[in-house]
Amino acid sequence: MTGKTREGMIYALVAYGSWGLVPLYFVALRDVVPAAEILAQRVVWSLVFLALLIALSHRWQSLWLALRTPWVRWNLILSALLVGCNWYLYITAVVSHQVAQGALGYFINPLVNVLLGMLFFRERLRPLQWVALAAACTGVVLLTVNAGEFPGLALALAFSFGFYALVRKKLPVDGLIGLSAETLFLWPLAGAYLVYLHASARASLGADSLRLDLLLMGSGVVTAVPLLCFGQATQRLPLSTLGFLQYLSPSLQFLLAVLVLGEDFDAERLLSFGFIWAGLAVFTVDSIRSHRLSRAPKVEEPTPLAD
């Protein structure tokens, strides 16, 4: 494993591990703050946090260069719209007590990443990786069937974040600069909405308790840190690898739903998870095997003696 790949794995594990625990954060807000206001607060406080990081790292010039480069700027506007849409969809899932639907979206998303990696970057899967993909697809189909309804919210989550990862992978900017630009583009809408809420005396910030205010302001850190790590991971890992690592996030979310939030975990879900985790195990074993083979010293054929 190269140093670049090792760094990418660490960034990805931190990002997906954080996203696996984030439902607890929004569960604390869902009964008192509407989804749209949570989204606006996330954008505003993320920009504050990111501006602090930019200042501490003296990266203002890098941000300005990204914003003044036309094709980079337009792609960052597109990625901002995609990630903003994804944030709103997930907050809606949690606020409306559809955590399972949100988790299903992030189970489907890795398959979308693998598909996009093959279509746009000509990434190719090895035979065992095809087996892993088939097992994971089977698990996702079983989860969908057991849900008893068309998973529209889950599919919207999966494809919005899949295309976000695709756009970000093509951009020559790191996680900090990219996310800072994205939140900067989303900020005018978020700021205007919060001003409207305050003007109409419907804002939650400053109207309830210090605990709620701290939770809303902390949403910037909760939002920015995983996305910063994810942005770094996309620059270092293939989309297919990112896709399978992402199963960590919804797996944690389902464990939280069962162990902490008291949701049911029936035999059908257990079977579905079995297929998904088996696919992840096969993919992991194949990746380790491929890495060892790539590092094995090549045996040179003896040079034939001249007559």
| pLDDT confidence tier of residue 307, bands split at 50, 70 and 90 | very low
Contact in structure between 240 and 123 (CB atoms under 8 Å): yes
Cα gap 46→73, rounded to integer Å: 19
The dihedral built from the CA positions of residue 192, 196, 199 and 203, taken in this order, carries a sign that is negative
Please give the backbone phi and psi of residue 109, each rounded to the nearest 5 degrees, phi first.
-55, -40
Q: What is the mean pLDDT of residues 97-126?
A: 78
- Calculate the average pLDDT of the chain: 82
Q: What are phi and psi of 146, to 5 degrees?
A: -70, -25
d(CA 34, CA 29): 8
- Verdict on whether the full-model pTM lies above 0.85: no
Distance between CA atoms of residues 46 and 182, nearest Å: 10
**For residue range 206-245, what is the model confidence (pLDDT) as tens digits?**
777 888 889 889 888 888 888 888 878 877 887 667 767 7
Residue type (1 letter), 92 = T
Instruction: Give the three-class secondary structure for 2.
Output: coil
- Closest by CA to 227, choosing from 54, 77, 80, is 80
Digit-coded pLDDT (tens) for 112-160: 877 788 888 777 778 888 888 888 888 878 877 876 767 788 889 989 9
With beta carbons less than 8 A apart as the criterion, state whether 49 and 184 touch: no
Strands (E) in 75-209, as ranges, are none
State residue 304's pLDDT score.
Answer: 55
Tokens of 241: 């690898």
φ, ψ dihedrals at 140, nearest 5°: -65, -40
Residue 281 has pLDDT above 80, yes or no: no
- Per-position DSSP letters for 218-247, written without gaps between them: HHHHHHHHHHHHHHHHHTTS-HHHHHHHTT
Cα dihedral across residues 254, 155, 73, 42: positive or negative: negative
Please tell me the distance from the alpha carbon of residue 296 to that of residue 33, in angstroms, as a whole number. Answer: 56
